[in-house]
């Protein structure tokens, strides 16, 4: 039981860390997609 609980709490902590990192990832992704859009407009 305690082994399962520890694994679950570790997984939950990992999940929380990922969720906290999501806005940053989204910003990078949107920034990159803007860059790609500009590149595509410049190429056409």
Q: What is the pLDDT of residues 1-44, one digit of tens each?
A: 678 888 988 888 888 888 888 888 778 877 777 877 888 899 88
Number of domains forming the structure of the chain: 1
User: Which residue's entry shows tokens 């990192």?
Assistant: 21
Rounded to an integer, what distance in angstroms lies between the CA atom of residue 37 and that of residue 19? 27
CA distance 24 to 30: 10
Task: Give the pTM.
Answer: 0.39
CA–CA separation, 22 vs 5, rounded Å? 26
DSSP conformation class of 17: H
């Amino acid at each position: 039981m305690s082994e399962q609980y520890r694994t679950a709490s570790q997984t939950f902590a990992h999940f929380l860390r990922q969720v906290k990192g999501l806005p940053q990832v989204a910003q990078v992704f949107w920034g990159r997609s803007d860059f790609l859009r500009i590149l595509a407009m410049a190429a056409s």
